[in-house]
């Protein structure tokens, strides 16, 4: 496990070739059971004939995909992590007759360091005086979500992406950078308010805001 400076956590997941082979056999056997080839009843075709019609690479890929969730859960338990989002999993190495290697990128809730006194000083004070680091993977997920919603709204307005960008006097990179900055800020304040709510056993977000603004 590696904790990065940007708040991400990287986990290396290794699936042994032996386990991939075992899962491969399971998938091939399932295919044989439902195969219908000319001259044979359903499920009675020779294994070799069925296997020749299957995409071997696809079966190996599916084998790995079915084994990954359990491997990931084991890594989470081993390192006593509490992830707050689904992992981004990337393939690092996949060769026949060798172990397959993946990297899972996750994050935990960031540490929030509040100012010593903040009740009654308002949101802006909290924003300026609270220290935290929003994990990059979490921020990027939020950006992707926001840009997907924006794309839907642009389409509903009958505009192309190019027309929208021109109206905002920006480009795709600039829009993503602006959205990332906004996302990090909004996520920071959500974590800040959640910590205050828990620390002071407040009922909900509204009560938390009242507390911060000294209305309660």
Q: Which CATH number fits domain 2-106: 3.40.50.720, 3.30.70.1050, 2.60.40.1180, 3.40.50.2000?
A: 3.30.70.1050
Q: Which residues pair with 104 in a beta bridge?
A: 11, 89
Give the pLDDT score at 130.
96
Residues 51-67 have a mean pLDDT of: 91
R_g over Cα of the chain: 25
pTM of the model: 0.86
- In which band, very low, low, confident or very high, does the pLDDT at 176 lie, cut at 50, 70 and 90? very high
pLDDT tens across 66-80, in order?
999 999 999 999 999
More confident residue, 14 or 34: 14
Residues 37-65 have a mean pLDDT of: 87
| Residue 120 reports pLDDT greater than 90 | no
Residues 102-125 have a mean pLDDT of: 94
Residues of the chain with CATH 3.30.70.1050: 2-106
Give the pLDDT score at 215.
59
Q: DSSP state, 37?
A: -
| Residue 216 reports pLDDT greater than 60 | no
More confident residue, 171 or 38: 171
């Amino acid at each position: 496990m590696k904790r990065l400076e940007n708040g991400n956590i990287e986990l290396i997941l290794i699936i042994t070739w032996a386990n991939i082979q075992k899962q491969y056999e399971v998938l091939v056997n399932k295919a044989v059971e439902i195969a219908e080839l000319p001259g044979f009843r359903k499920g009675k075709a020779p294994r070799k004939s069925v296997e020749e019609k299957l995409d071997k690479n696809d079966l190996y890929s599916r084998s790995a995909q079915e084994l990954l969730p359990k491997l990931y859960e084991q890594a989470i338990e081993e390192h006593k992590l509490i992830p707050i989002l689904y992992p981004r999993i990337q393939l690092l190495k996949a060769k026949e007759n060798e172990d397959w290697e993946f990297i899972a990128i996750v994050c935990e809730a960031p540490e929030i360091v509040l100012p010593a006194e903040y009740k009654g000083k308002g949101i802006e004070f909290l924003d300026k005086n609270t220290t935290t680091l929003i994990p990059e993977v979490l921020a990027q997920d939020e950006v992707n979500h926001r840009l997907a919603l924006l794309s839907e709204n642009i389409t509903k307005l009958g505009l192309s992406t190019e027309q929208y960008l021109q109206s905002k006097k920006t480009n795709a990179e600039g829009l993503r950078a602006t959205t990332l900055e906004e996302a990090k800020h909004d996520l920071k304040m959500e974590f800040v308010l959640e910590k205050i709510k828990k620390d002071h056993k407040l009922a909900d977000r509204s009560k938390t805001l009242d507390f911060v603004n000294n209305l309660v």
